[in-house]
């Protein structure tokens, strides 16, 4: 008797099975996999920069950049292939639309894997414009620009130009008008050479 997993929203297979890598014999070495990924993301992917109030962060707000792409559980092979090729990210159930989602949140992984891919294999819809804004934001964060007020404000303005048809939890004016002076900061750190550079803590998008 098979065990029912209440976390399985797809109703197709057990969650454990859906999260396992799959064999894909239809794929051949002649396939331009980079272009395939970009075409797939053009229809099913999302570049997101969200903001969350946080007393732990310098200006009172946490910036959360993330890249994600979704697929139904029975066709989740492509998600595993992208995760394997990029060697980063994770796959999780998305209960909002009963799909599986491959997601990258870590800023180093976004800069090291996601951004270079879409520069080399650009998309052909207006989503490429969202990517270009996302690219600018991630590079600003990676360089520590979000730790300066001017850089933080630039990130907010760029982010508000993304996904114009989407719903926003916080307006740009609400964020910018509530920025703290910047005395306090509690961020993760990464090492660059002989010094530590603070970077924002990433989380799930809202």
Strands 45-53 and 61-71: antiparallel
Beta-bridge mates of residue 64: 50
Q: Determine the Cα–Cα distance for residues 18 and 71; give it in Å rounded to an integer.
A: 11
Q: How many CB atoms lie within 10 A of CB 143?
A: 14
Alpha-carbon distance values, 66 to 10, 15, 23, 88, 125 (Å): 23, 23, 27, 12, 19
pLDDT for position 182? 64
pLDDT for position 160? 95
Q: Which domains does the chain have, with CATH numbers?
A: 15-19+30-199 (3.10.28.10)
173 Cβ contact list (under 8 Å, min separation 6): none
Which 8-state DSSP code applies to residue 146? G
pLDDT for position 98? 85
Q: Is pLDDT at 62 greater than 60 in this prediction?
A: yes
pLDDT grade, residue 118 (50/70/90)? very high
Q: Is pLDDT at 201 greater than 90 in this prediction?
A: no
Alpha-helical segments (H) within 7-76: 15-18, 33-44
pLDDT grade, residue 164 (50/70/90)? confident
64: its two tokens: 């959360």
């Amino acid at each position: 008797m098979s065990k029912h997993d209440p976390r399985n929203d797809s109703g197709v297979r057990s969650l454990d099975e859906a999260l396992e890598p799959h064999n894909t014999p239809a794929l051949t070495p002649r396939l331009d996999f980079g272009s395939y990924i970009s075409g797939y993301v053009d229809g099913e992917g999302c570049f997101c920069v969200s903001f969350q109030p946080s007393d732990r962060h310098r200006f009172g707000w946490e910036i959360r950049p993330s890249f994600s792409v979704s697929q139904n559980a029975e066709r989740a092979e492509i998600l595993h292939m992208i995760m394997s090729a990029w060697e980063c990210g994770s796959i999780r159930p998305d209960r909002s639309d009963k799909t599986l989602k491959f997601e990258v949140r870590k800023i180093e992984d976004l800069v090291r894997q996601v951004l270079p891919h879409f520069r080399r294999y650009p998309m052909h819809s207006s989503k490429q414009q969202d990517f270009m804004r996302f690219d600018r934001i991630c590079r600003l964060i990676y360089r520590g620009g979000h730790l300066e007020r001017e850089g933080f404000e630039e990130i907010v303005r760029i982010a508000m130009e993304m996904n114009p048809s989407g719903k926003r939890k916080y307006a740009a004016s609400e964020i910018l008008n509530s920025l703290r002076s910047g005395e306090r900061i509690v961020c993760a750190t990464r090492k660059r050479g002989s010094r530590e550079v603070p970077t924002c803590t990433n989380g799930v998008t809202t």
